[in-house]
Amino acid sequence: MLLFIEQCLNGIQLGLLLFLLAAGLTLVFGIMDLVNLAHGSLYMLGAYFAATFTALTGTFIGGIFLALIATLLVGMAVEVIALRRLYGRDHLDHVLGTFGLILFSNEMVRLIWGPAGLRVALPDWLLRPVEFIPGVFYPSYRLLIIAVALAVAGLLYFMVMRTRIGMLIRAGASNREMISALGINIKLLYTFVFGIGAALAGLAGMMQAPILTVQIGMGENILILAFVVIIIGGIGSIRGAFVAAILVGLIDTVGRSFLPEILKLFLSNQAASTAAPALSSMLIYIVMAAVLVLRPQGLFPAAGK
């Protein structure tokens, strides 16, 4: 039971990280109709920036703060220089162009930071496990990730649903011509949205940095997970992304730890131990395929599309 609670928490934590990535992806996808494969590169950049700035400033929080601003700026610059020109094009053009961006950013990172992986050290106060239910200890840093991601999710929801800028974003998503005819600078709005998405992806990377090794190509596998999330959730829907991210995080983590036991109930020990790793890695893709077959538009199709 303790293990189950712990695994659920791990699952929620993974899910919330995925949400940070997927939120930017789904905003860019839903509003600008841009398939951005290079979103994972922003995640990677965030982690590298965090490593550098943490070493530079000597404090973890300061490093994260600077890295957040840096990823935001890089994201906006990439949008202005390259991606802006891809809006309104075929999705295939997006795939090709942003694939080129992945190659470029991987190489750029290698040029600047070198091929070896980096590590980010945590301050002492984040290393101690917390006993949050009597008898259940959980690493405090992972709890912090959960708290920060929840706060960001709330903030994002507030921004999109309750503020003027969120209203413009939603309006831009449903009718681009109309909103620019009303005198809104849609280009600036798009750059802003892309920057927010980049910063969110970077934040996910930064928070993963102390847990994983910061390395080239780290964004590529998690990018696919993020795509799975936005497809399950329905493209363009933040709420869908949130639900789907938690779902994917939980299924993946809990599946990995308990599937071997479950399979052993039906299969021989040996068959179970061979089948379990494959099946647990496949689990989320099976869920996604099932969702698409049953609801081709995802669980929460964005309104007005």
The residues in 25-84 that bind other proteins, with binding defined as CB under 8 A, are: 29, 35, 37, 82
Out of 93, 136, 211, 215, name the contact with other proteins by CB under 8 A: 93
Residues counted in the chain:
305
Report, in Å, the least distance between residue 225 CB and other proteins.
10
Q: Examine residue 100 and tell whether it contacts other proteins (CB under 8 A).
A: yes
Place of tokens 């509003």: 31
Stretch that binds other proteins, among 62-70, 125-133, 257-265, 276-284 (CB under 8 A): 276-284
The residue among 195, 174, 163, 169 whose CA lies nearest residue 184 is 169
Q: How far is the CB of 162 from other proteins (least distance, A)?
A: 29
Binding flag, residue 269, other proteins (CB under 8 A): no
**Of the residues 92, 112, 188, 265, which one makes contact with other proteins according to CB under 8 A:** 92
Q: How far is the CB of 72 from other proteins (least distance, A)?
A: 22
Beta carbon of residue 282, minimum distance to other proteins (angstroms, whole number): 4
Phi, psi of 163 (to 5 degrees): -110, 170
Minimum CB distance to other proteins smaller for 110 or for 128: 110
Rounded Cα–Cα distance for residues 225 and 247 (Å): 12
Contact flag: residue 285 with other proteins (CB under 8 A): yes
Asked whether position 117 contacts other proteins by CB under 8 A, the answer is no
- 14 binds other proteins per the rule CB under 8 A: no
Q: Indicate the burial class of 74 (C-beta count within 10 angstroms; 0-12, 13-18, 19 or more).
A: buried
Shortest distance (Å) from residue 122 CB to other proteins: 30
Under the criterion CB under 8 A, does residue 305 sit at the interface with other proteins?
no
Considering beta carbons, is residue 150 or 299 the nearer one to other proteins? 299
Stretch that binds other proteins, among 53-61, 89-97, 181-189, 241-249 (CB under 8 A): 89-97
Q: Are 54 and 63 in contact (CB under 8 A)?
A: yes
CB under 8 A, 24+ apart: contacts of 49-56:
49/202, 49/206, 50/120, 50/205, 50/206, 50/209, 50/214, 51/113, 51/118, 51/119, 51/120, 51/209, 51/214, 52/113, 54/120, 54/121
Dihedral class, residue 119 (left if φ above 0, else alpha if ψ from -120 to 50, else beta): beta
Cα 305 to Cα 36, 119, 132, 206: the distances in Å are 19, 43, 43, 33
Of the residues 129, 292, 303, 305, which one makes contact with other proteins according to CB under 8 A: 292
226 in Cβ contact with 287 (< 8 Å):
no
Tell me if 95 contacts other proteins by CB under 8 A: yes
CB of 83 to other proteins, least distance (A): 9
Kindly give the interhelix angle for 2-32 and 164-174, rounded to the nearest 10 degrees.
70
Instruction: Answer whether 42's CB lies under 8 Å from 205's CB.
Output: yes
Q: Does 188 bind other proteins (CB under 8 A)?
A: no
Residues that bind other proteins (CB under 8 A): 29, 35, 37, 82, 85-86, 89-93, 95-97, 99-108, 110-111, 220, 224, 227-228, 231, 235, 274-275, 277-278, 281-282, 285-286, 288-289, 292-293, 296-298
